[in-house]
């Protein structure tokens, strides 16, 4: 038996013993999928975090995702296998900066992407994911919206809304570094392929995409579309997931790796279960405030 198979067996055994559930983001390593109870995008995993009866949630993703699970399940034990797995986008906005924006635009509702830290969610009106951002923004009674932190997702939302949207200048480095000129050149090598792009990409990418959606919508599009080949424009791990979900189609990566997402390993998952590390602990008052913004989002979708 290989080392990986041994680790997988140990993890599955410990999950049962500790009544633990593993929530795994689409961008994780393929071997992490093998121990997952649920695999999905931020919205799917947020829902699962709020519905699980498990005593322990092991979140194979990044810190803001584990924080969201803790906010929705404050009485559960939430573990993040690699405590250093942060998010550069989430770190581009602080709660203090949000309060300054509120003072500057007093009539605006604050819509925070789930890719934010817990203290930012606590001073927001509502959260959104890339899957529901347009719906969330258009559901609000306010004519003005402060959208943060991702300027690219915010710009995409602006194209589908009549509201005045004030954008924060944050971004996901993984998507920001992908260039439209390079994508056009890549497309010329695969002229029959359809381009599926994540809305965290810059406008020059989205302009040439055949379909723009969250990671959760990519498999559905590929299944329903008549094309046999697709260029996937997002973090590289999504191509691995799509090859598993839709094996009858061919998927080509136009991507960058997220080192934070790839930090989680089978060894770190096993250690988290064995040693109860690393626990997500948040201030109760902050959690209560942040929960409102997430619950408001879940009520819309």
For 203-212, write each residue's pLDDT tens digit. Answer: 999 999 999 9
Residue 298 lies in a domain: no
- One DSSP character per residue, 4-43 reads HHHHHHHHHHHHHHHTEEEEEETTS-HHHHTT-SEEE-HH
pLDDT in tens, 236-279: 999 999 999 999 999 999 999 999 999 999 999 999 999 999 99
Q: What is the length of the chain? A: 301
**Is residue 116 domain-shared with residue 186, that is, in the same domain?**
no
The set of long-range contacts for 282-286, using a CB threshold of 8 Å and a minimum separation of 24, is 282/67, 282/70, 282/71, 282/118, 284/74, 286/118, 286/119, 286/122
- Which residues sit opposite 56 in a β-bridge? 20, 77
Query: Closest Cα to residue 90, out of 66, 125, 59?
Result: 66
Average pLDDT, the chain: 95
Residue 293 lies in a domain: no
Decide: pTM greater than 0.85.
yes
Residue 301 lies in a domain: no
CA distance linking residue 138 with residue 165, whole number of Å: 11
CA distance linking residue 257 with residue 29, whole number of Å: 11
- Quick check: helix, strand or coil at residue 57? strand
Report the domain count for the chain.
3
Residue 50 lies in a domain: yes
The pLDDT score that the predictor gives to residue 42 is: 78
Prior bond of 151 cis (ω within 30°): no
CA distance linking residue 71 with residue 51, whole number of Å: 13
Q: Is the pLDDT of residue 142 over 90?
A: yes
The pLDDT score that the predictor gives to residue 301 is: 75
CA distance linking residue 142 with residue 144, whole number of Å: 5
Mean pLDDT calculated for residue range 101-106: 98
Please give the C-alpha separations between residue 163 and each of 30, 84, 145, in angstroms, as whole numbers. 40, 37, 7
pLDDT in tens, 19-69: 999 999 999 999 999 999 999 887 788 788 888 889 999 999 999 999 999
- Note down the domain range covering 224: 174-258
**Is residue 229 domain-shared with residue 246, that is, in the same domain?**
yes
Question: Which distant-in-sequence residues (6+ apart) come within 8 Å of 205 by Cβ?
Answer: 175, 178, 179, 180, 183, 197, 233
pLDDT in tens, 172-218: 999 999 999 999 999 999 999 999 999 999 999 999 999 999 998 99
**Is residue 112 domain-shared with residue 75, that is, in the same domain?**
no
């Amino acid at each position: 038996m290989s080392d990986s198979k041994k680790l997988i067996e140990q993890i599955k055994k410990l999950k049962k013993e500790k009544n633990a559930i593993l929530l795994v983001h689409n961008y994780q390593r393929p071997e992490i999928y093998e121990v997952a109870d649920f695999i999905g995008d931020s919205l799917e995993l947020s829902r699962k975090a709020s519905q699980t009866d498990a005593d322990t949630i092991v979140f194979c993703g990044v810190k803001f995702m584990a924080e969201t699970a803790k906010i929705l399940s404050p009485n559960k034990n939430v573990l993040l296998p690699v405590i250093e797995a942060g998010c550069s986008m989430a770190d581009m906005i602080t709660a203090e900066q949000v309060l300054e924006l509120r003072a500057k635009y007093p009539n605006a509702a604050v819509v925070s992407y789930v890719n934010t830290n817990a203290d930012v969610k606590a001073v927001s009106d509502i959260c959104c994911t890339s899957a529901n951002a347009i719906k969330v923004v258009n559901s609000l009674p306010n004519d003005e919206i402060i959208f943060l932190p991702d300027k690219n997702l915010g710009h995409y939302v602006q194209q589908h809304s009549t509201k005045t949207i004030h954008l924060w200048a944050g971004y996901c480095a993984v998507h920001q570094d992908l260039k439209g000129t390079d994508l056009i050149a890549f497309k010329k090598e695969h002229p029959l392929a359809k381009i599926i792009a994540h809305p965290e990409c810059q406008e020059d990418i989205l302009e040439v995409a055949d379909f723009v959606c969250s990671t959760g919508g990519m498999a559905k599009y590929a299944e329903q579309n008549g094309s046999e080949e697709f260029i996937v424009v997002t973090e590289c791990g999504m191509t691995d997931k799509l090859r598993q979900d839709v094996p009858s189609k061919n998927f080509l990566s136009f991507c960058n790796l997220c080192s934070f997402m790839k930090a989680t390993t089978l060894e770190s998952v096993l250690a988290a279960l064995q040693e109860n590390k690393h626990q997500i602990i948040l201030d109760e008052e902050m959690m209560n405030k942040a929960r409102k913004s997430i619950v408001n989002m879940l009520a819309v979708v």
